[in-house]
Structure 1
Amino acid sequence: MTKVKLPQYQSIKIVEAAEIAKIEGQTMLLSFRKHVAKVEVDQTYLDKHQPQVGGYFVRYENGYESYSPKGPFESGYLSVETTIHAARVGASFGIAIEMLKDGHRVARKGWNGKGMFLRMVSGKQYDVACGIARDLELAPWIGMKTADGKFVPWLASQTDMLAEDWVIVEMVP
């Protein structure tokens, strides 16, 4: 195959995946969270992906099923549980944004105000009392609960974006 330099892309997506513990015909035994589950695949899947024990069975949001060797999978994905744990002990701004999108409230450990947090607000969750926005689509935004009990639109500072102390405050119901 000719080596052509292609454009690079970075992926931020959530997939379902589990390590393949055993392959018996068209049945794969998947190992996760101290459990084993059986997944039936057809011969087309086996021929196309040629899965190996130790690699990962991967299912995308749209239902597409694939295979990834262990090394590339583990270097390219973090478990959501690991990401949530990182966001409890101190995580990057990027992880904080993903947690906001998933419905969590986040804050920086370094913020001095009591009870401050950020929350994603969907366009459908707020109403504009003035007539200016009557015919406009209301877009999502990030709001901040301030130390004095107000809720205002928020913009990140350079310090906030580079910080590694973002934590989950609580889950939005």
Structure 2
Amino acid sequence: MKKYIGTKQIEAEPMTMGDAYEKGLLQAGKVPNENEKSNAGYHVRYQDGYESWSPAEPFEKAYKCADTFIDRLYIEYSDLIEKFEKCATFVDSDKFREVVKDDYPAFLLSLQRDLMGRYLQALSCRINIADNITEDVSIQRMSFGIAIQALKFGLAIRRKGWNGKGLFVIKQVPAHIGSDVIPKMQSLPQSAKDLILSGKGFIDYTSQCLIYNENTGRADSWVPSISDVFAEDWEIVK
């Protein structure tokens, strides 16, 4: 026989077996004795409206409370960490390349492990923020790829390994500068203004990054070095 995984959403509330009997929720003919009346369990209502009673132990193994978004975050985290640990154990084992011999499938599985780890970090940070735990909401070992995503989102980034303090990188917001604004721009020499106005007559700022020094107020154009690209000490500036 094949294995199947089922999911269903229910509503439930704690209820003893004795109370369930009084409400007619037990199986037909089931009458609890005095010792059984205090047994812990749950009053369960299924999606089709059917109601019954379940003992606590099997219920709590099968279901997790998902009443709030924090509950659902914890469920998501719990489910993911189990899958991540299994994947990471295999990828980090000596058997990994014995089983997955071709480079591309091996890379994809390794990438899956890394992305699942990043996913776990994101969930952990969201859970801590929701629980008002502010001291542990930073992404650890942030890669350049994630740093770029942060830039695109409008956040400022920097490397922990930079010697200069007070430096951070920002991505300029794309902007269209029309011919009415160009003559007033302080950042362009007059010769450049004349050339632009005699041509298209506008400037479209697109993908530009600046490195800003908060100590001096100086901003310079920024292009990452090869060490920046492969670094994993990026962080978001708050």
TM-score (norm: length of structure 1): 0.50
- Say whether 1:97 aligns with 2:125: no
Q: Which residue of 2 aligns with 1:40?
A: none
How big is each residue's C-alpha offset from its partner over 1:34-88, in whole Å with a ceiling of 9 and x where there is no partner? 159xxxxxxxxxxxxxxxxx79xxxxxxxxxxxxxxxxxx866626835977854
Greater relative contact order (CA < 8 Å, ≥ 6 in sequence): 1
What are the residue-to-residue correspondences of 1:38-117 with 2, within 5 Å? 78=119, 81-82=122-123, 88-117=139-168
CA contact under 8 A between 1:100 and 1:119: conserved in structure 2? Answer: yes
Amino acid at match of 2:140: V
Mapped partners of 2:124, 2:70: distance in 1 = 16
Q: Which residue of 1 aligns with 2:212?
A: 145
Richer in strand (by share): 1
Shift of residue 118 of structure 1?
Answer: 0.5
Indicate which of 8, 11, 22 corresponds to 2:8: 22
Q: Secondary structure at the match of 1:99?
A: helix
Larger radius of gyration: 2
Identity of aligned residues (%): 26
Shift of residue 33 of structure 1?
Answer: 2.2
Mark the CA change 1:30 to 1:102 in structure 2 (over 3 Å): closer, same or farther.
farther
Q: Secondary structure at the match of 1:89?
A: coil
Mapped partners of 1:98, 1:83: distance in 2 = 18
Amino acid at match of 1:159: S
- Say whether 1:165 aligns with 2:233: yes
Q: Which residue of 1 aligns with 2:99?
A: none
Mapped partners of 1:25, 1:35: distance in 2 = 19
Q: Secondary structure at the match of 2:151?
A: helix
Mapped partners of 2:176, 2:137: distance in 1 = 28
CA contact under 8 A between 1:87 and 1:166: conserved in structure 2? Answer: no
CA contact under 8 A between 1:83 and 1:95: conserved in structure 2? Answer: no
Mapped partners of 2:220, 2:124: distance in 1 = 27
TM-score (norm: length of structure 2): 0.38
CA contact under 8 A between 1:21 and 1:30: conserved in structure 2? Answer: no
Amino acid at match of 1:81: A
Shift of residue 148 of structure 1?
Answer: 3.9
Mapped partners of 2:123, 2:176: distance in 1 = 30
Residue segments in structure 1 that go unaligned for 5+ positions in a row: 1-19, 37-53, 56-73
Mapped partners of 1:106, 1:35: distance in 2 = 30
CA contact under 8 A between 1:87 and 1:96: conserved in structure 2? Answer: no
Richer in helix (by share): 2
